[in-house]
A and B are shown apart, each in its own frame.
Chain A
Amino acid sequence: MAPSLILLQLLSGLAHAMVLFLIASGLSLIFGVTRIVNFAHGSFYMLAAYLTYTLASALPLGTAGFYVAVVLAALAVGLLGLVVEVGLLRRVYRAPELYQLLLTFALVLIVSDVVAMVWGRENKTGPTAPGLAGSVRIAGQLFPTYDLALIAIGLVVAAVLWWLFQRTRWGVLIRAATHDREMVAVLGVDQRKLFTSVFVLGSALAGLGGGLQVPRQALTNVMDTTIITEAFVVVVIGGMGSLPGALLAAVLIGVVDALGVLWLPQASLVMTFVVMAVVLIVRPWGLLGRPESQARGAGGAVLAGGAVGLDRRWTIAVLAALVLAPPLLPDFWVLVLVEVLTFALFAASLHLLMGTGGMVSFGHAVTFGLGAYGAALLVQWAKAPMLLAFAAGPLAAALGATIIGYFCVRLSSIYFAMLTLAFCQIAYAIVHQWYDVTGGDNGILGVWPARWLAGPLRYYYFALAACAGGIALLTVIGRAPFGLTLRAVRDHPRRAEASGVDVRLHQWLAFVVAGLFGGLSGATYVFLKGSVFPNALTVGMSVEPLVMVLLGGVDALAGAPLGAALYKLLDTVVTRHTEYWQLVLGGILVVLVLAFPRGLLGLLAERERG
């Protein structure tokens, strides 16, 4: 291959890498200091792109207009970061860490619809960069001047950030807080100001990335979700909280993508995720990250405090209603209930991991998808009877979880979460590309229940048995010695290890069990819908149960079905009544999180105490 070609690909890759670096550095900073997994970071990026688009044509500044617009948009988004941090996130810092994730998820929904309302849903082409819109000749080929400028801008921003963090007092505090924020607090530093300033800077960096992207990419309503996963990948490969790491990882991803076009074109769907998986397996804290300091006090991601469950009377009442009420309901609501049940089980299976086990997964959809595809493939290729195919689903998922879990449980916290995401994406890519077996994106059709289960009501009772049975078993597992040991592992892995518990083995087993039940929910779902598509394995499908568990309350298993029911019913009702369902749903989520910062269960617990 000609060296000139490789040079051109490297330059293209570097330009892409610089945009990635700007966005990822902001995300990494925010996570490093505040420990917030900020899903809304991509929304800030999108918002800044649209603002740049509007300002560039509105400002009467001629050629300078675009550049002023980029800066103004970044500042505006930084200001929005201020409002969000002070107005929303600050209110839930005392809740378990993950609740902030729920808030940022709500923001994603809200910003998405606000952008659709203000700018419309059509794709747009933004302005080119005045003065830099042309090309220069490199190695005999034309190369965009703007891409060269981006490389320069990225390096300048990196240098400024380096100076800020190495040479100013504020920077020193940020670095200290990233390493051990409790120690910084003990030394008398006002954490609130530190958090706010980091959030503003991080958001502004996302905004800068968004504005600079305008001359290279179209503006769409889905820019936010497109970039956020990639940004997290960069952050994690580099090491959470490490700016040099983010730069290194951005360059790695940018260059691998660009060279992949030449050498491994068929792997475009998974390239970045394979790189991430390999990096994390070899270096569990990313390239330049450091092992996280053990948080003092309540360990792990989740507070253990006074586990609240549903009163037994409540459980019996709910079960009785689920058995008795459906014959009185219209068919549609019976089918909605089946969907609620499957997601209740799906969320409950995740709860075993993240609640009882303290392992937050961003890739739980892999269990759901393997369950659904496991069943569907048997129907499609072996013409298997329904019950046999149905049973194969959870087994396939458990098998998959055994393999994935083996690698994942060596990691902890966000690195664990991102490795699960990587495996989920790899599974997605396989299902998506393996046309001969899985049908690719056209999916598998015709996976309907056996004749004796046809009809909404019959299938409902079948699903009720599977899902309620599954949740009951998960409850038993959570209370059995295995579940108790798992909690010990979550709350204090080193003490647990010292008492002779095989920490990794327990985590691995939990992963497999969660996979089994996640697969059961997937199998139940596929016979409800009659078809399955790679969509079952997307990031969105992994985020849904996460949101449900948090909404219900992570403190006890009962929260998962509660959250699933609330979320699915809200979604079903809201979607029917407004085009802007994301705005309404997001708004409701914000209110719920602020009102019940420990989920619905938290509310119930207070009632009981009060």
Chain B
Amino acid sequence: MKRHALFVTLAGLLLSSAAAAVAQAPIKIGEINSFSGIGAPFTGPYKQAVEMAVEEVNAKGGVLGRKVEVVFRDDKGQPAEAVKHAQELVTGEKVTLVSGTFLSNVGLAVSDWAKQNKTLFVAAEPLTEAITWSKGHDHVFRVRPNTYQQGRMLAERAAKLKHVKWATIGPNYEYGKRAWETFRDRLKQLKPDVQVVGEHWPTLGKLEAGPFVTAILNQNPEALYVSLFGSDWLAFVREAQKRGLFQKTFVVGILLGEPEYIDPLKLEAPEGMLVTGYPWYDVDAAPHKEFVARFNKKYDSNPVLGSLVGYVTYLSIFEAIRKAGSTDTDKMVAAFRGLKVDTPIGPISYRASDGQSTMGAWVGTTKLDAKRGVGVMVNHEYVPGDRVLPSDDEVKRMRSGN
């Protein structure tokens, strides 16, 4: 009898510890991003902020009493590779949801996979409108303001300028083309006398800038809309400086005020450009100052836009799980609709109609900061994302084909 009782006790102990282990099992999140390849220059600071967000939430006891664990995977900039990781993260690592991606086509591939597999996908950085609109579905949410929103923000400011003759240069793919079309269409709406005198579409990542600068100068535009970024933008600035383009032409640059793109130029950054970006040095709200201080302390470097997006993405995920009270996909998806999140840059929400967050961007002009040795944004204004989003009805129409 005694032996029997002992067994029962032992079994009971084992069972309860197993139950405790289940309760304690971490919430796993799969993070897919371009840590090597063409997106790699921009994903390092993003990853740092994700790790910071996770560390902070775990220090406060985690989410729903469980620790959070992120499993990182490198998509190498290849959509097919990202899909492979998504499959592995869900079936092998048993992650609760998938998040991340930088390049638009990678984001679309993972999104379509998530749609097919009924997995929640939180797209952090890809800018294509298609993710939430023409290819949108119930299981995808996007954090960063998309191409359409940023193009529109710039158009509203540019319409107040006197410039009538416009040209553009951008990378020859969807992002470059859409960045221009949304800007141009809005600008023409607001200022019907605008004329387009030239469009230039060099191959992404392979810009031999000199001939393009000469060609633009020859078309004599009053203003130039630039959607180049990364190494193309850096090479373009060099050649444009030497050929005197910035003295003759006003420049509007989408994203070009982001530290990712303006910092590598150091004191060569052109002054007086109208840009969207992230002036982290000037955002004075207390939660943001604390965010910057913590980031500084942890990594001994300043945040870039990718860091802010990474941090906001994971705050949103934590909040959605809290609201859902569970890691069940349907409940998380329901929680994300209309989800309100307090972020370092203020409250944002996720629209029920398309899953787009209302996170905005700053619009301002560039100036050199001799002390820090880089270009910065001045006269900037934060434009909330919802101010430049189409209405729910328009969204419904765009999503009707899906």
Contact = CB atoms under 8 A, between A and B. Distances in A.
Interface of A: 2, 5, 8-9, 12-13, 15-16, 116, 120-125, 128, 133-135, 141-144, 146-147, 215-222, 226, 257-259, 261-262, 265-266, 268-269, 330-332, 335-336, 339, 432-433, 435, 440-443, 445-446, 448, 456, 525, 529-531, 533, 535-536, 572, 575-576, 579, 581-582
B74 A575 contact: yes
A5 B214 contact: yes
A123 B261 CA distance: 9
A218 B88 contact: no
A443 B109 CA distance: 8
Contacts of B79: 443, 529, 531, 533, 535
Nearest to A8: B214
B210 A258 contact: yes
A269 B202 CA distance: 8
A125 B261 CA distance: 11
Interface of B: 35-38, 40-41, 44, 73-74, 76, 78-80, 83-84, 87-88, 91-92, 104-105, 108-109, 111-113, 115-116, 128, 130, 135, 172-174, 199-203, 205-206, 208-212, 214-215, 217-218, 230-231, 234-235, 238-239, 242-244, 264-266, 268
A128 B268 CA distance: 11
> Which 4 pairs show the lowest CB-CB distances between chains A and B?
A218-B234, A12-B210, A218-B231, A331-B91
A257 B211 contact: yes
Contact of A445 (B78, B91, B135, B243): B135
B36 A125 contact: no
B137 to A, nearest CB: 10
Contacts of B113: 529-531
6 contacts: A12-B208, A144-B243, A220-B230, A435-B174, A530-B112, A572-B84
A440 B109 contact: no
Given A135-B242, A445-B135, A221 B109 contact: no
Contacts of A135: 242-244
A536 B113 CA distance: 17
B214 A332 contact: no
Contacts, number: 194
Nearest to B268: A125
A579 B172 contact: no
B116 A448 contact: yes
Given A442-B105, A443-B79, A257 B210 contact: no
Contacts of B40: 116, 121, 221
A225 B266 CA distance: 26
A45 to B, nearest CB: 14
A144 B210 contact: yes
A220 B231 contact: yes
Contacts of B230: 123, 218, 220
B104 A442 contact: yes
A265 B264 contact: no
B43 to A, nearest CB: 8
Contacts of B87: 331-332, 335
A443 B36 contact: no
A332 B92 CA distance: 6
Nearest to A15: B210
A587 to B, nearest CB: 16
A52 to B, nearest CB: 15
Contact of A339 (B74, B84, B116): B84
A90 B205 CA distance: 35
Contacts of A531: 79, 83, 108-109, 112-113
A12 B266 CA distance: 25
Nearest to A19: B208
A16 B37 contact: no
Contacts of B73: 575-576
A261 B112 contact: no
B242 A445 contact: no
Given A147-B210, A265-B201, A220 B215 contact: no
Given A141-B214, A144-B243, A442-B128, 18 more contacts: A13-B211, A134-B242, A141-B244, A146-B242, A217-B231, A218-B230, A220-B205, A222-B205, A265-B201, A332-B91, A336-B84, A442-B105, A443-B108, A446-B115, A525-B80, A531-B108, A576-B88, A582-B36
Contact of A142 (B80, B243, B266): B243
A142 B108 contact: no
